[in-house]
Structure 1
Amino acid sequence: MTYLLSHHAAELLDQGYTIVRGAVPTDLVSVLSADLDPHFAATPFCDGDFYGRRTKRFGSLLTRSPHAAHFVQHPMALGLADHALGQFCDRIALNLTQGIEIHEGALAQYPHRDEDMWGGPKGEIEYLVNIIWPMTPFTQENGGTRLWPGSNHCFGAALNEDAAVVPELMPGDMLAFLGSTLHGGGGNRTPHPRRGLIVSYALGWLKPYELQWLVYPPEVARGFAPELAALVGYAQHRPNLGNVEGQDPSLLLRDHMNDHHAATDALREEQAAALRDYVAEQEAARAGTLGG
């Protein structure tokens, strides 16, 4: 696992994407897809040229199938996200879970970088890691995802359509790519829908694309494992970001919550050390004054 993670992480940062073959058993993909069948059937086509007028999309997958958590918490997916994003944040957070089905006649999606949803500087840090889990085969003919290799290092230059690659993927495979990687769904020229799951992870201090705390309110998140609850946002990002009454927001998942709490520091180690030194200097000075 360590070697595989190192290999795929290096490829992800170099080319902007990497493919892990056979990352999950195909029967796990099948049961997840079966759980999502009624939701795909009930979901109307998107309204908008970016989302795709022959494409169906819906989120909140952790409430739609008990099997979704296996994909969200997949060790390789989390490892790749940590590797790409960890130097820029205290912790990563779940940004999105979405089922996507591209139907016959769908046009190719406009090439884009997902990091552009945030207005910060580009080319200096990574904001996002996407994981695509195919639930049907992905091919060039049925709308497989187009990727521009190395585009994570190339900003502002015009990239031709013929420079894109369309990896062929099978259920069980994992496609990971950076938020800085130029990509877009393909056009579906077949009579069969192309179905997939996308899970993305972002810097923990960013506002997520899918507002996790509303999608999974406390009464829902109480049923999550603690690690999953933290991933969807029931955890502070040091220093003190995302607190509730000065406390870790996981307190909202308790059966009973007091109305009043002592606000408690949640600092990075270097901040806590500097603060201890600062307080110690003041206490020493006060002790000297009192002693004199």
Structure 2
Amino acid sequence: MTGAAHSPWLDQIRKQGYCIIPNALPSAILAALDTDLQQTYAKTPFGDGEFYGYKTKRFGSLLRRSRWAGDLVLQPLILALAREILGKACERIQLNVAQAIAVHPGEIEQFPHCDHDMWAGEKGTHEYLLNVMWPLTEFTASNGATRIYPGTHRQKIESLDQLGTPIAAECQPGDAICFLGSTVHGAGPNLTRHVRRAVVIGYSLGWLKPYENLWLAYPPEVAREFPAELAELAGYCQHRPNLGNYEGQCPSILLRDDIAEFPRATDALRDDQKAAVREFAEAQRGEK
């Protein structure tokens, strides 16, 4: 999708740190995904830790658990927003996480946090992450809907006392809750008798170590079934210059049938780097 730079959703994310896009995907896709994940939800144990939650279930590797998960990752508007938000600080973006979450009755409110705190780099000069929460069940203020603290992406929060009043991201399956890695948020308490289920899809700068180990989640025999764009987001590409290579080649060669036993190391440079290296090499060879 083009025109993300002029999208009202982009304006809202930049102003408030989040937006909720209604009807971003047909609800039937979310229902089909939820059906595919039911068995894994049932088998997955509750978390072990105050942050993950003792009455919350989580599991990843969604792209190999359901064909419908790719529709969430590749949603055109959201991909365009992610590339617009993150693209000024990286040569390409990557998938950071594809995780299912189920908040069960009796779960307490999650600790308010910023997801970009996973990385120790300096904050404030650029964004590290865009997360998208896709409800699989209705999100309400009482069943654990994500709580978001508007404007915190522009603040330096050193104490929970600095946080204002959060909004509960109430919405339906098919809606997309988008928020920056710098925006303080957390799951709300589930005060109902019903499980609140959702999927979080995250996009991060292509040169960061992702939250989810993509190559273990999606080894070559799995990723070769992906569309090319999805395989690239899942780590089968290089971030120029030469970052994330396999034997000096783009790791996408692992998705081919004809993998050379001894691959030939090949430059993967940005255009400006390629020009500078070429000029230097020509001078060394006496061609200039």
* TM-score, normalized by the shorter chain, greater than 0.5: yes
Runs of at least 5 residues in structure 1 that lack an aligned partner in the other structure: none
What is the one-letter code of the residue matched to 2:236?
A: Y
Shift of 1:198: 0.4
What is the one-letter code of the residue matched to 1:211?
A: N
Residue deviations 1:170-192 (CA, integer Å, cap 9, x gap): 11100100000000000000000
- Matched with 1:76 is 77
- In the alignment, structure 1 residue 49 sits paired with structure 2 residue 43: no
User: In the aligned structure 2, how far is the partner of 1:207 from the partner of 1:157?
Assistant: 25
Aligned-partner SS, 2:263: coil
- Matched with 1:112 is 113
Percent of residue pairs identical: 50
Aligned-partner SS, 1:199: strand
Shift of 1:31: 0.8
- Matched with 1:199 is 201
Runs of at least 5 residues in structure 2 that lack an aligned partner in the other structure: none
1:41–1:282 CA distance, 2 compared to 1 (3 A): same
User: In the aligned structure 1, how far is the partner of 2:32 from the partner of 2:264?
Assistant: 46
- Matched with 2:167 is 165
Query: In the alignment, is the contact (CA less than 8 A) between 2:149 and 2:164 conserved in 1?
Result: no
Query: In the alignment, is the contact (CA less than 8 A) between 1:134 and 1:170 conserved in 2?
Result: yes
What is the one-letter code of the residue matched to 1:34?
A: T
- Matched with 2:125 is 124
- Matched with 1:251 is 253
Query: In the alignment, is the contact (CA less than 8 A) between 2:238 and 2:250 conserved in 1?
Result: yes
Shift of 1:159: 4.8
- Matched with 1:269 is 271
Aligned-partner SS, 1:146: strand
- State how 1:18-167 maps to structure 2 within 5 Å: 18-160=19-161, 163-167=165-169
User: In the aligned structure 2, how far is the partner of 1:89 from the partner of 1:2?
Assistant: 19
User: In the aligned structure 2, how far is the partner of 1:209 from the partner of 1:48?
Assistant: 17
Aligned residues, how many? 286
Shift of 1:14: 1.6
User: In the aligned structure 2, how far is the partner of 1:129 from the partner of 1:55?
Assistant: 22
Query: In the alignment, is the contact (CA less than 8 A) between 2:100 and 2:199 conserved in 1?
Result: yes
What is the one-letter code of the residue matched to 1:126?
A: E
User: In the aligned structure 2, how far is the partner of 1:165 from the partner of 1:70?
Assistant: 27
1:179–1:287 CA distance, 2 compared to 1 (3 A): closer
Length-normalised TM-score, structure 1: 0.94
Over the aligned positions, Cα root-mean-square deviation in angstroms equals 1.5
Shift of 1:162: 5.0
What is the one-letter code of the residue matched to 2:282?
A: A
Task: Please say which structure displays the higher CA radius of gyration.
Answer: 1
User: In the aligned structure 2, how far is the partner of 1:123 from the partner of 1:162?
Assistant: 20
